[in-house]
Structure 1
C-alpha cells in the first residue's frame, strides 16, 4: 500500500475513534464481534492485513439494537472477496447470504476454472434461490421470515480486475489520486432505490397493473409504501480495471 494511502487509512481510523470514543486498541482483530463489543457502537474490526493486491482493513459500526447487517472479507493468494449485506426486516437474509454466497462462488469458480461476471451472477442467483427455498420451508414455524430481505454488495479483486456486484442501494466507491494529488472518489454502482425518479419509472413499468406499487409515505417514496429499496437484476454487475 502506498504511504499516502496508509496515512489516509490511519487518519480515518483516528476520526472514527474520536467520534465513538474508542481507539484502535479497543477492538478485536478477529473475523467477528468480540463479546465486549456487543453493546459498543464499534462492533468489530480487523487491522491492516495483506491481500492479493496490497493491504486492507475493516471496521463495522453498530447501527441497530438488532444486528440486521453482515459483512465479510476473505482473502487468498490470487483473489480477494468483500461482501456487504444490508438486511431489513430482520437478520435472517443477510446472515444467510454471509454464510452461503462466498462458498457458492468459490465452488462454481473451481468448477469453471476461472472467475467472470457470469460466475459471480450465477453464485448470487443460486444463493437467492436457496434462500427462497429456506423461507418456504421455514414459513410454517416462522411466518415473519417472509418479510425479511437484504441488499447485496460484493467486490472481487482478481488478476488486476475489480468485479462489483450490486443488488439494492448499498454503494461501492473507489478512490484514486487526481492531478492535484487529492483523493478523488468515483461511485461504481447504481442505487436501486425508488427515491430516484428513474428507478420509480422502472418499477412502475414492471408493474403496470398496480397503481400503488410505488407510493409516498412519511415524506419518502416507497415500494407499496413500505421500503425504498428496489431490485433490478438487469443492472446487476459492473466490471472495472484496476490500475497501479
Structure 2
C-alpha cells in the first residue's frame, strides 16, 4: 500500500476507534513536512485511528502519547539508556534515528503512524539512522506490544490528562541542559529546558527562554555555548 496513514484516512468513516493497520510493504511512506520515509523489508510501518471525544485533552498531545508507548516497547529490546525521545516525534538509539511518528488530524479523528527500523536503517541525507541490533524484533510481535502500550497510554491521557504523559516523556527524552538547535533556523539554539504544559519545547538561549511550538530539532553538538 502507499502508506498506512493514507489507508486509514481513506477508510476512516467505516472503521472503529483503535483500528490498526500494518503494511508489509509501503511505497509512499511519509514523515513530517511531507518527507519520504523508506521502508526496508522487516521494518514496521503501522498506523492507528483515534476518534476524539469531547472530553479528550488537546489532540496535539497524542504525539507524546505515541512516543511514550513506542519508547516502552523499544526498551524491551535494547537497554533503555541507549534510547532517547527527541522532540517532537522521533525515537533515537545511540543518537541516531530509530523510529518516527506522524500524527495527522482530520475532523474528529487523529491517525498516528509509526515507522520503526526493526531490521534495517534507511539512508536519509543529512540524518543518522539506525536499526535494532540483530536479531531484529518480529514485526507482528512488536506491533502487538505497541498496540497494547499505546492503548494503555491513551487511556491514561484520557483519564488523567497530559501531565503524567509529559512526565514519562521527559524521563525518556533529552537530558536537561542538552544543546539543541532548530533545523532551518541555525540562529535558534539553546539548552533543553523541558516542556511547557501544552508540550511546547523550552530552549534556554543566550537571550532567555524561547518557546518552540513547531519545528525540527537537531542535537546541536557543534552549536556555540549559551549562557
TM-score normalized with structure 2 length:
0.28
Higher relative contact order (CA 8 A, sep 6+): 2
**Higher helix fraction (1 or 2):** 1
